[in-house]
Amino acid sequence: MILTNKDRIEDYINKGWWGEDTLYSLFQEAIVLCGDQEALVDPENRKTITGDAPKRLSFNEINVTVERYATIFYEQGLRKDDIAIIQLPNVVELPIVYLALSKLGIVCSPIPMQYGAFEVTSIINETNPSAFVSISKFSDKAHAKQFSSLFTKDEIKFSLGSVDGFVDLNTSNPSSELIESQQLYANDNSITADDIFTICWTSGTTGTPKGVPRSHNLWLPMAKAAAFVSETEQGDALLNPFPMINMASIGGFLYNWLLCKGKLVQHHPFDLNVFLTQISAENIKYTIAPPAIMNMLLNNPAILDQQDLSSLRCIGCGGAPLSEWMVETFQNKYDLTVQNIFGSNEGATLLSARNEIEDPKLRAKYFPRFGVDGLNWSNPVSRLVKTKLVSVETNEEILEPEQPGELLISGATVFDGYWNAPEANAEVFDEDGYFRTGDLFEISPDDTEKRYYKFCGRCKDLIIRGGMNISPEELDNLLSSHPKMLEVAVTGYDDEILGEKVGVVAVVVEGETLTLDEVIEFLKDKQIAKYKMPEDLRVIDVLPKNPVGKVLRRELKDLFN
């Protein structure tokens, strides 16, 4: 399935921005060069997650399972350009499933383990999938079975472990003849670097979940940029603590792992003690962590003093503004470089690396202005994109310091448009083809020679709770049918650990009372994901609105301070 237009493909290939590599071809290179090398490692607490023992696999051992999985998928009728929804934790089988499906040209649509029936149903309706890949048990609870009834169009269901109505990937053992048939099919229907590999999910800039299709050629520039920031060397051990469903983990770890032909260590769910132990035990060279965790570590030096983090070359950090104190202290006291990362599934990418910004205070605060004429950077992605800031009010380009504007970006990393969403695409691309990120930045002051961007906030009001995007409009719509509410608006409010939490502001029917527990029970009946559940409630007389009746969410936040 190729969604990118031919002119764009030809232009970027001629410029040397895109090539012929795919996830599977990179894997094949790794097998040839270092097949016996240990390459993929489970979380050490896998038994708690899935009930079975953790695995450690070489590239050759991975290949055996890739071929088996690909044959099972082929035997069950999956073919090139089919779509498979994947809901798996960070165990070794997840990258193996990616490799097996991508070999056959099947589009992977990964979703978080936290998604419930509400979200899964929405994605089924959006993608019309041919398959669902999940796991029988997760943290001692039946997982895949709860979604079985949502698939009503003869979709093929696969599971790690035995589940009624699912093909068990653990026990299915296709014949050598079937394996040969699968290989002949793959050879006759070879994929290209322009074929879509994934449809990831994001709240985007339009406020509602959208599918983001990305080809291998769209993924690889992001992966190479991540490899530059992590200073990855051949054979490095990488620790992936984020769900392997989006830009940070697929670009930063899945592709990066195969580019460096190293060892990928999985981690799930995030557990600080396990995370720190893995860094030491696995000789990890690069990993990522949210700012709240990095700040907490510095505030608890006893934890750091008990751990050997000397193998780490650097650590990526993003998702929220970084503390100058945090970046400086790790660099000067612990000799650990914190790299500042900003990115999105759509392809926005700004990366502040030490080899380009040595001063930790500057690196915490600013990003290089990639893709701006007259400014040169060593990160290869800086030459593959163009960026600019425009006024939210006038849409005029901003060229002077300290004037917030929306970041727009175009180039080799930027997706072609949301899945099956022409109206949203008309909204998020300008007349010159730049993607409107929905994020506010400003140009750094004259004393920095205007070389940097500074993040200022979001143009719209997405809630980012523990790294997960939550659309307040979605919750508004769900709560609007509550019998006790006349009006309702959801907002995010600051939290030191999670970044933001979800707050509900309601105007209730006269004579009624409303509790947070009632709101939560109402949403539970909607079967939404637990991470979207509100954690505070304010009842007021009138919602603050602008002259045309739009709720002013930023004013609502003040109610929770």
Residue 459 CA to residue 224 CA, distance in Å, equals 29
Task: Reduce the secondary structure of 155-170 to three states and give it as a string.
Answer: CEEEEECCCCCCEECC
| % of residues, the chain, pLDDT over 90 | 73
* 72 within 8 A of 167, measured Cβ to Cβ: yes
CB atoms within 10 A of CB 494: 11
Domain contains 434: no
Whether residue 26 contacts residue 258, with contact meaning beta carbons closer than 8 Å, is answered with yes
The per-residue pLDDT for range 13-53, each reduced to its tens digit, is 999 999 999 999 999 999 999 999 999 999 999 999 998 99
What was the pLDDT predicted at 469?
74
DSSP-assigned letter for residue 445: P
Condensed to tens digits (0 to 9), the pLDDT of residues 56-67 reads: 999 999 999 999
Q: How far is Cα 502 from Cα 464, in angstroms, rounded to an integer?
A: 9
Query: Does some domain include residue 71?
Result: yes
Boundary-marking domain end, from 135, 156, 191: 191
**CA pair distance 241, 289, nearest whole angstrom:** 8
- Tell which residue, 60, 40, 21, has the closest CA to residue 253: 40
Q: What is the pLDDT of residues 465-509, one digit of tens each?
A: 887 778 787 888 788 889 898 888 899 998 888 888 999 999 998
> What is the residue range of 154's domain?
23-32+55-191
b/e map of 148-163 (b: 16 or more CB within 10 Å)?
bebbeeebbbbbbbeb
**pLDDT given at position 429:** 94
Instruction: Identify the weakest region by mean pLDDT among 89-93, 166-170, 551-555.
Output: 551-555
Tokens found for residue 370: 């990639």
Residue 117 sits in a domain whose CATH number is 3.40.50.980
Residue 528: closest CA among 466, 477, 461, 460:
477
* Segment 85-111 mean pLDDT: 97
CA angle 134, 466, 423 (to 5 degrees): 75
Instruction: Find the DSSP H helices in 334-421.
Output: 360-365
d(CA 442, CA 429): 20
Question: For position 549, what pLDDT does the model report?
Answer: 58
For position 87, what pLDDT does the model report? 97
Give the amino acid at 47.
K
Question: What residues pair up with 85 in beta bridges, in sequence order?
Answer: 109, 132
CA 543/CA 541 separation, integer angstroms: 7
Q: What is the DSSP letter of 381?
A: G
456 located within any domain: no
Phi/psi-derived region of residue 275, left when phi > 0, alpha when psi is between -120 and 50, beta in every other case: alpha
Give backbone dihedrals phi and psi of 60, rounded to 5 degrees, phi first: -65, -40
Listed residues 191, 214, 240: the one ending a domain: 191
What is the structure's pLDDT at 552?
A: 78
Could you tell me the two tokens for 380?
């290869």
Q: What is the CATH number of the domain that holds 537?
A: 3.30.300.30
| Residue of higher predicted confidence among 459 and 77 | 77
Residues 6+ apart with CB under 8 A from 143: 87, 113, 134, 135, 136, 137
What is the reported pLDDT for 377?
A: 95
How many other CB atoms sit within 10 Å of the CB of residue 40? 23
- Segment 292-303 mean pLDDT: 83
pLDDT of residue 25: 97
Predicted pLDDT of residue 62: 98
DSSP reduced 3-state for 396: coil
pLDDT for the residue numbered 208: 60
Q: Does residue 113 surpass a pLDDT of 70?
A: yes
Of 130 and 489, the one with more pLDDT = 130
Contact call for residues 99 and 24 (beta carbons, < 8 A): yes
Q: In angstroms, rounded to a whole number, what is the distance separating the alpha carbons of residues 439 and 422?
A: 21
Range scoring the smallest mean pLDDT among 212-226, 431-445, 469-483, 505-519: 469-483
The mean pLDDT of 5-20, rounded to a whole number, is 95
Cβ atoms within 10 Å of 561's Cβ, excluding its own: 6
The continuous run of DSSP H or E covering 368 comes out as strand 367-368
Task: Give dist(CA 394, CA 94) in Å, integer.
Answer: 45
Show which of 147, 175, 191 is a domain's final residue. Answer: 191
SS3 content of the chain, % helix, strand, coil (to 5): 35, 25, 40
Cβ neighbours, 10 Å, residue 522:
17
State the first-to-last Cα distance of the chain, in angstroms, to the nearest integer. 49
Segment 81-91 mean pLDDT: 97
**427 SS3 class:** helix
Name the DSSP letter for residue 270: -
Whether residue 224 lies inside any domain: the answer is no
Per-residue pLDDT, 94: 98
Q: Is residue 212 part of a domain?
A: no
Which tens digits make up the pLDDT trace of 249-274? 999 999 999 999 999 999 988 888 89
Is residue 386 domain-resident? no
pLDDT score at 203? 60
**Does residue 81 fall inside a structural domain?**
yes
Tell me the whole-structure pTM to 2 decimals. Answer: 0.86
- The strands making up 452-458's β-sheet, listed across from edge to edge, are 367-368, 452-458, 435-443, 405-411, 385-390, 397-398
The percent of residues above 70 in pLDDT, for the chain, comes to 98
Query: Is residue 444 within 8 Å of residue 454, measured between CB atoms?
Result: yes
The one-character DSSP state at 249 is: I
Region 185-210 average pLDDT: 84
| Domain assignment of residue 108, yes or no | yes
Residue 193's nearest CA partner among 223, 212, 218 is 218
Nearest-angstrom CA–CA distance, 223 and 32: 21
Domains held by the chain: number = 2
